[in-house]
Amino acid sequence: MIYWAQFFHFYQPATQLSSVLDKICDESYRPLLQVLREFPEIRVTVNINAILTEMLSHCGHQDIIQGLKDLGQKGQVEFVGSAKYHPILPLIPPDEGKRQIELNHKSNSFFFGDAYKPGGFFPPEMAYSRDIVPTLVGTGHRWVILGGVACPADWPVDTVYQIEHDGQRLAVFFRDDLLSNKISFQQLGPKDFLEHLNALKGEREDIYVVTAMDAETYGHHIKDWEELFLSEVYEEIQVRSETYAHIKQKTMLAERHTSLIRDEETSQKVKTVTISQLLEHFSSGEVIDPKPSSWSTSTQDIDAGNSFPLWKDKDNDIHRMQWDHMTICMELCLKAVQVADNDESKHFAGIARGLLDRALQSDQFWWASRRPMWDINLIHMGLIDQWRVILNAYRAINKSGCEGNVKKEFFDKLVAAREIRGNILDQLFVL
């Protein structure tokens, strides 16, 4: 048996235009959900960052939320946990990561109700380092999905590796990067895909394969790909399943067909499952230490000690300044919350605290990576979000009853942030 676990990642940033969101809903989300409804035996695992869930609600796309909820209640869709505003978890303080995970759970639980029972976890961009493990274990997750490049051991096809922390274990599943990218870039058709699965199986009795990609791949990035690829694959899986069931029924009358069943089962039977269901079919493997990486990191990046090049490239001056600015932003916000001691200071500290969650989003860094992504407006929008935090945070500090030397210390930080912001803007004018 070939167990195929599909993972779909639904995400749009808080800065997305409503007109673009409308287009994505029409081109991708609605058609994708319709395909899943047409094949009720199909099982998939879904991440939807809660900021997108809220945007869908605010922009009049409640039918998509309801569609996912209905599929979840029927058992076709398994939801996973993530971080609400899509930050790169290894690059932010653990307390901020935990807060984002809890915000994500609270919001998605509100919209999806009892259909939202995440046992697994999707780190945004599959960005992983050992530092995030305590938070994942502490928030009750059973497994995590990572990019295949993070795997430090033999490629798993019939066992599930484990990550250990403080006596507790977290199962880890690795995305088949090669296969997933071939699907995402339309380099593999339905027939080739199924032949690839059979080739991976070889003589083994049971194997599993995990593919993962943006949900927007289907219909938005590639027009009609949900029909041209997914529907065709699902249809073939259904036909093969019915053929096998027919053969199995015949064996009740004729034992001589047993070998035919065995051939059918070992070489052709594909079953779609949620990732959590893989834990029921495959045994736990050894404890490993995955490599710090993302699903966009290459082996060359890892060898160069550049684990997250699209968000914090050690040779990217814009990235360096963005993170210097973000560090000051977080320091000011946390100090504001700490010292606020009257109505006015608490008011502004509360605003800063809420704005910081959004300001941690990953897109501003992605658009500054120049690999090849580059957009001065989206970089600037990230700076604006951070500056709004700084504005309200320092206002809270200044209006609090804290000592004058504290106010001066953080005013100096504000001035430093203003200079960094100016330097980034200068670069945006000339690059």
Per-residue pLDDT of 226-277, as tens digits, reads 999 999 999 999 987 765 554 455 555 455 444 444 444 444 589 999 999 9
Indicate whether 128 and 150 sit together in one domain: yes
Mean pLDDT of 166-170: 95
102-116, 257-271, 318-332: the lowest-pLDDT one: 257-271
Helix/strand/coil for 218? strand
Q: CA 329, CA 321: separation in Å to the nearest integer?
A: 12
Q: Is 304 a domain residue?
A: no
Q: Is 305 a domain residue?
A: no
Q: For residue 335, is pLDDT > 80? A: yes
Contacts of 360 (CB under 8 A, 6+ apart): 85, 87, 92, 96, 100, 326
Q: What type of residue is 73?
A: Q
Mean pLDDT of 334-352: 98
pLDDT score of 203: 86
pLDDT score of 262: 46
pLDDT score of 282: 98
Indicate whether 272 and 156 sit together in one domain: yes
Indicate whether 77 and 100 sit together in one domain: yes
Indicate whether 414 and 383 sit together in one domain: yes
Task: Report yes or no: 291 and 150 within 8 Å, Cβ to Cβ.
Answer: yes
**How would you classify residue 222: left for phi > 0, otherwise alpha for psi between -120 and 50, otherwise beta?**
beta
Picking from 63, 127, 77, 66, the residue whose alpha carbon sits closest to that of residue 100 is: 127
**How would you classify residue 233: left for phi > 0, otherwise alpha for psi between -120 and 50, otherwise beta?**
alpha
Q: pLDDT for 397-429, tens place per residue?
A: 999 999 999 999 999 999 999 999 999 999 999
Contacts of 41 (CB under 8 A, 6+ apart): 238, 241, 272
Q: Is 186 a domain residue?
A: yes
Q: CA 122, CA 125: separation in Å to the nearest integer?
A: 8
Q: Is 140 a domain residue?
A: yes
Count up the domains in the chain and report the number.
Answer: 2
Indicate whether 285 and 314 sit together in one domain: no
Looking up residue 261, the CATH number of its domain turns out to be 3.20.110.20
Query: What burial class does residue 392 get, using C-beta atoms within 10 Å of its C-beta: 0-12 exposed, 13-18 middle, 19+ buried?
Result: buried
Contacts of 213 (CB under 8 A, 6+ apart): 7, 8, 9, 180, 183, 184
Q: Is 405 a domain residue?
A: yes
pLDDT score of 266: 43
Q: CA 323, CA 381: separation in Å to the nearest integer?
A: 15
Task: Report yes or no: 11 and 49 within 8 Å, Cβ to Cβ.
Answer: yes
Domain boundary (267, 299, 331) is at: 299
**How would you classify residue 77: left for phi > 0, otherwise alpha for psi between -120 and 50, otherwise beta?**
beta
Q: Is 153 a domain residue?
A: yes
Indicate whether 401 and 263 sit together in one domain: no
Q: What type of residue is 116?
A: Y
Domain boundary (245, 279, 299) is at: 299
pLDDT score of 249: 52
Q: Is 431 a domain residue?
A: no
Indicate whether 248 and 378 sit together in one domain: no
Indicate whether 293 and 345 sit together in one domain: no
Task: Report yes or no: 36 and 219 within 8 Å, Cβ to Cβ.
Answer: no
Could you give phi then psi for residue 256, rounded to 5 degrees?
-65, -15
Indicate whether 314 and 269 sit together in one domain: no
Indicate whether 271 and 328 sit together in one domain: no
Compute CA 408 distance to the chain's CA centroid, rounded to the nearest angstrom: 40
Domain boundary (270, 299, 328) is at: 299
Task: Report yes or no: 69 and 103 within 8 Å, Cβ to Cβ.
Answer: no
Mean pLDDT of 53-82: 98
pLDDT score of 214: 98
For residue 19, give its domain range. 2-299
Q: What pTM was computed for the model? A: 0.93
Mean pLDDT of 345-359: 98
Q: For residue 381, is pLDDT > 90? A: yes
Q: CA 365, CA 320: separation in Å to the nearest integer?
A: 10
| Mean of all residue pLDDT scores within the chain | 94
Q: CA 29, CA 36: separation in Å to the nearest integer?
A: 11
Q: CA 160, CA 187: separation in Å to the nearest integer?
A: 28
Indicate whether 278 and 358 sit together in one domain: no
Task: Report yes or no: 201 and 1 within 8 Å, Cβ to Cβ.
Answer: no
Greatest CA span in the chain, whole angstroms?
91
Q: Is 250 a domain residue?
A: yes
Q: What type of residue is 154?
A: D
Q: pLDDT for 6-31, tens place per residue?
A: 999 999 999 999 999 999 999 999 99
Helix/strand/coil for 291? coil
Indicate whether 255 and 376 sit together in one domain: no
